[in-house]
Amino acid sequence: RLWAKILEFKDKRVKAITEIVNSIKVLKLYAWEGSFMDQVLKLRLQETNTLSSIMKLGTIQIAIIVATPFLVSLVSFTAFILISNNNILDANKAFVSLLLFNIMSK
């Protein structure tokens, strides 16, 4: 959906620039460069804002993907310890669990 918005903004900007290039003599004659420049810059700003949103969502997605194995281990060990007072997390259980989590993630 965001990519469609970017393409829409890009099309509008390209059409505006094409219109400017095709009518450059009239623009220069009546000194309308500033008005058309503002129009193109406004379209470009909309395009870059949408692109920025896409990049932010992508960054969040990558952060979640990277943090998930750590969070799964943390939640699993915490649940193991909190379920019963008899459960003691020693090095043997921890390293075997980490090995199994690593195997499952691949």
The CA distance from 105 to 96, in Å, is: 14
Q: What is the mean pLDDT of residues 53-77?
A: 93
Enter the tokens of residue 44.
């470009």
Residues 42-56 have pLDDT tens digits of 989 999 999 999 999
What is the pLDDT confidence band of residue 67, given thresholds at 50, 70 and 90?
A: very high
Q: Is the pLDDT of residue 106 over 80?
A: no
What is the pLDDT confidence band of residue 99, given thresholds at 50, 70 and 90?
A: very high
Listed in sequence order, the residues at least 6 apart from 53 whose beta carbon sits closer than 8 Å to its beta carbon are 2
- Provide the b/e sequence for 71-88 (b: ≥16 CB within 10 Å): eeeeeebeeeeeeeeeee
Please tell me whether the overall predicted TM-score, pTM, comes out greater than 0.85 for this model: no
Straight-line distance from the first to the last Cα atom of the chain, in angstroms, rounded to the nearest whole number:
31
